[in-house]
Amino acid sequence: MARTYLDPSPLPGPGQWADQDLVALTVGMDAPLVLRAYVNGMFPMPIADEVSDELPPADWIGWFSPVRRGILPLDGLRVPRSLRKSARHFEVTVDRDFPAVLAACGGQDREGGWIDEGIVAVYTELHRAGRAHSVEAWTPDGQLAGGLYGIGYGGLFAGESMFHDPRVGRDASKVALMGLVAMLRAGGHPERRLLDVQWRTEHLASLGVVEVPRTEYLARLRRALALPQPRWAMPPDWRTASLGQ
């Protein structure tokens, strides 16, 4: 059973985690706590289900460390010919418009949306501190067609969410992912860097995402955190970089 903390300052370590994805609950969160969670293998998500009769659901934050963690090996991204062709039609940037990417990922029309005002406030603060980053895919006429955002710390990039605008960029989120992988690989030591996607879904599996046990994820995390951060800028050769098959 997940531990519950009314004071959000402490979080349990791996030795206290239950054998389930949800490892802790707190009332509220702040940017330092969120960053500390990532470097210890956890990530936050508001809990929609009612946890207490005394507090509204929006006040509860669940802290997750999946028993089976989804990661994308930097040499394992699957880039079919059709996607390489689509990439020619987009410009990909880093941190050009973090607020717009965050807003699009949290669009009210998205099924299962969990990005609320609290998430926006915390991740915006982390972006200003240089810890949260966005990757954007733009059309030739300057429309934001897709993108993604996540947390960067050392050799870790913890992806949080991605989106595409079907009106202007069916493959735009995948193209943004291509750019992210190229940028992380350009930072050196690609075999030790860690691109975390939280859970493996069928869609993410089609892009090369695999599952690893929690213990293996934590070991990889320790190695990744010791690396320097990548340069948060898109390599000029991102379209042709070797991104796997």
For residue range 48-90, what is the model confidence (pLDDT) as tens digits? 654 555 555 557 899 999 999 999 999 999 999 999 999 999 9
Going by their DSSP bridges, the two strands 156-164 and 194-198 should be labelled as: parallel
- 214, 198 in Cβ contact below 8 A? no
What distances in angstroms separate CA 225 from CA 38, 111, 191, one per listed residue?
10, 33, 13
Q: Which CATH architecture has domain 69-225?
A: 3-Layer(aba) Sandwich (3.40)
For residue range 119-168, what is the model confidence (pLDDT) as tens digits? 999 999 999 999 999 999 999 999 999 999 999 999 999 999 999 999 99
Domain assignments of the chain as residue spans, ordered by start: 3-65, 69-225
Q: Which pLDDT does position 5 carry in this prediction? A: 43
- Asked which of 57-61, 110-114, 185-189 is least confident by mean pLDDT, the reply is 110-114
Q: How far apart are CA 186 and CA 86, in angstroms?
A: 22
- Of 98, 201, 204, nearest to 149 (Cα)? 98
CA angle 10, 224, 188 (to 5 degrees): 150
DSSP H helical segments within 72-116, as ranges?
Answer: 81-87, 98-105
* pTM, full prediction: 0.91
